[in-house]
């Protein structure tokens, strides 16, 4: 089976996600309308600005259809802002920010600081073979609390340079929903996307 995976194309690294998915054998298409959402097997929610994406989901009449698809078991993967949108609860978000659900986690928005605090790190990720994944963090969130059904896939290594970020959860999975605080689409390492495509195939 060649899965057709949509990439939410309202803001963020849409082209990079489409290219990464295509490179691992999936059919990747941008999604901006409810009819386009209906046609895909799964959805990637890219990084960007989570409050802006939240508002655009309402404007494009995608919020409720997307919530319904995720609740019905559609596989979804969110990177950075996508993780925030998939979380059950967000700290330091805007009061009017909408959540999609799918992950029983509490996420802290912009936990790693401002744009100037962006950084890269090599992270071991459970379920991803071949050594550590190069992770790019850009105004990234982290998971403050994960529910009992959430599988923690990666945490920030406890090194002297990590500071308050040491041990923080930055990749999770719950059922068919995957999320990372970092941007694998920016590194040329397609293993996270391949793992998601495999999850979609198995679904």
183 has catalytic annotation: yes
Q: CA of 30: how far to CAs of 42, 128, 155, in Å?
A: 12, 26, 30
120 part of the active site: no
Here the tokens at position 187 are 């590194």
24 given a catalytic annotation: no
Annotated catalytic residue within 36, 49, 64, 185: 185
Q: What span, in angstroms and rounded, lies between the C-alpha atoms of 175 and 168?
A: 21
The active-site residue out of 17, 24, 36, 80 is 80
**From the centroid of its chain, how far is CA 163?**
24
Nearest to 167 by CA among 113, 111, 118: 111
What residues does 31 pair with on adjacent strands?
Answer: 8
Which one-letter DSSP state was computed for residue 1? -
Task: Measure CA of the first residue to CA of the last residue in the chain; give whole Å.
Answer: 11
Question: Sign of torsion, CA 17 55 165 88?
Answer: negative
- Active-site amino acid positions: 80, 183, 185
């Amino acid at each position: 089976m060649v899965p057709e995976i949509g990439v939410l194309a309202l803001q963020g690294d849409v082209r990079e996600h489409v290219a990464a998915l295509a490179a691992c054998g999936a059919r990747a298409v941008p999604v901006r309308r409810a009819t386009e959402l209906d046609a895909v097997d799964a959805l990637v929610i890219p990084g960007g600005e989570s409050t802006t994406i939240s508002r655009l989901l309402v404007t494009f009449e995608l919020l409720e259809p997307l919530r319904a698809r995720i609740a019905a078991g559609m596989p979804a993967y969110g990177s950075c802002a996508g993780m925030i949108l998939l979380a059950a609860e967000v700290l330091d978000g805007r009061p009017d920010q909408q959540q999609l659900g799918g992950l029983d986690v509490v996420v802290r928005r912009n936990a790693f600081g401002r744009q100037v605090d962006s950084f890269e790190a090599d992270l071991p990720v459970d379920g991803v073979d071949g050594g550590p994944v190069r992770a790019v963090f850009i105004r990234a969130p982290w998971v403050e609390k994960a529910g009992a059904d959430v599988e923690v896939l990666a945490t920030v290594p406890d090194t002297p340079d990590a500071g308050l970020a040491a041990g923080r959860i930055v990749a999770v999975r719950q059922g068919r929903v995957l999320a990372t605080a970092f941007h694998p689409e920016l590194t040329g390492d397609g293993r996270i996307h391949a793992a998601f495509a495999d999850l979609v195939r198995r679904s």
